[in-house]
């Protein structure tokens, strides 16, 4: 039974799920998982990176753990953003080229179901990729944390440190290992990738080429990192930023263009800080808002488009 015959029946959720599975399979066949081999090399190789040492020898092991987290989370962010933008930019042109789009739209399939299914397929791919990278990072970090604790405890006993100090040091090193806050940072990486994927979906509905969608999506991603700073500077720039119009314009910009700096909790996690669940809950709501907002905006444009 073909996919196009299946999506024409059932509820909205059923159609979206069928299209999402087809998009996920379509992307997997493009062999995008090859980049996981690159991540494995980076995660394992980060064990041997030496950061500048400005503290005593007792902090050398902690710096190695921070190096593993820094390289792994940085690589996850880079891969998730690139994957979200490129995979989304390829979907609509690929369906047009294969004429799958014409077959689906010829059937009683609402266009919002088609767009939501395509976006869900990309998000499934990003989530599976991040989960695999997270498992590898956590395994490497867990093993290295055990080694560091063993080495540092042996060093402390040679120096005849008090047992209370050794126990405190053990807890401090464990806080740099695989914690729930580290999983929260990976979730924040996924939320940011979800927003940029939905934004790329919106651009692809009126774009004329995959290259245009990719370039504009990357451009908006970088603008999103600086829009909050630019908005604050404008609002504090004398009388120009004090008027009602300026404040309304600032509010509209913040509602339309996401502030990606809100998702920069990675630096705190690398330093071993605990991320409150309330912060993760707020980030989840923000990510959900922009994903729904951009998907509905895509629908308004895609619904009027002639094929």
Is residue 219 classed exposed, middle or buried when 0-12, 13-18 and 19+ CB atoms within 10 A define those classes? Answer: exposed
Span 179-192, pLDDT tens digits? 888 899 999 999 99
Rounded Cα distance, 247 and 290, in Å:
21
Which pTM value belongs to this model?
0.86
- 256: how many CB neighbours lie within 10 A of its CB? 12
**Residue 4 structure tokens:** 């196009």
**Closest by CA position to 196, among listed 84, 75, 79, 76:** 84
Instruction: State residue 60's pLDDT score.
Output: 63
What pLDDT is stored for residue 1 in this prediction? Answer: 46
pLDDT (0 to 100) of residue 2 = 56
Q: How many CA atoms lie within 13 A of 260 on its CB side?
A: 19
pLDDT at 230: 76
Low-confidence ranges of the chain (pLDDT < 50): 1
**pLDDT tens, position by position, 214-250:** 999 999 998 888 877 777 777 676 665 567 777 777 7
CA distance 231 to 12: 39
User: What does the pLDDT read at residue 202?
Assistant: 92
In order of 21, 88, 95, 115, 288, the CA distances from 200 in angstroms are: 19, 6, 16, 12, 15
């Amino acid at each position: 039974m073909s996919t196009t015959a299946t999506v024409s029946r059932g509820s909205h959720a059923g159609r979206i799920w069928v299209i999402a599975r087809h998009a996920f399979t379509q992307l997997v066949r493009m062999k995008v998982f090859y980049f996981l081999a690159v991540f494995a090399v980076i995660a394992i190789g980060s064990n041997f990176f030496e950061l500048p040492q400005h503290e005593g020898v007792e902090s050398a092991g902690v710096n190695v753990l921070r190096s593993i987290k820094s390289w792994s989370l940085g690589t996850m962010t880079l891969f998730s953003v690139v994957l979200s933008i490129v995979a989304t930019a390829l979907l609509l042109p690929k369906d047009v080229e294969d004429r799958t789009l014409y077959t689906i739209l010829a059937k009683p399939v609402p266009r919002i179901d088609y767009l939501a299914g395509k976006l869900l397929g990309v998000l499934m791919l990003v989530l599976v990729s991040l989960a695999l990278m997270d498992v590898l990072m956590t395994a490497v970090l867990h093993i290295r944390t055990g080694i560091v604790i063993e080495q540092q405890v042996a060093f402390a006993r040679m120096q005849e440190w008090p047992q209370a100090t050794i126990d405190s040091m053990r807890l401090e090193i464990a806080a740099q290992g695989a914690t729930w806050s580290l999983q929260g940072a990976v979730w924040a990486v996924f939320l940011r990738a979800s927003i940029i994927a939905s934004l790329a979906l919106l651009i692809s509905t009126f774009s004329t080429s995959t290259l245009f969608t990719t370039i504009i999506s990357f451009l908006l991603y970088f603008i999103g990192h600086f829009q909050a700073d630019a908005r604050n500077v404008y609002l504090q720039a004398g009388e120009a930023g004090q008027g009602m119009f300026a404040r309304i314009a600032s509010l509209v910009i913040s509602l339309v263009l996401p502030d990606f700096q809100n998702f920069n909790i990675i630096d705190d996690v690398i330093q071993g800080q605990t991320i409150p669940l309330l912060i993760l809950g707020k980030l989840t709501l923000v990510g959900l808002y922009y994903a729904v907002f951009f998907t509905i905006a895509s629908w308004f444009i895609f619904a009027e488009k002639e094929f």
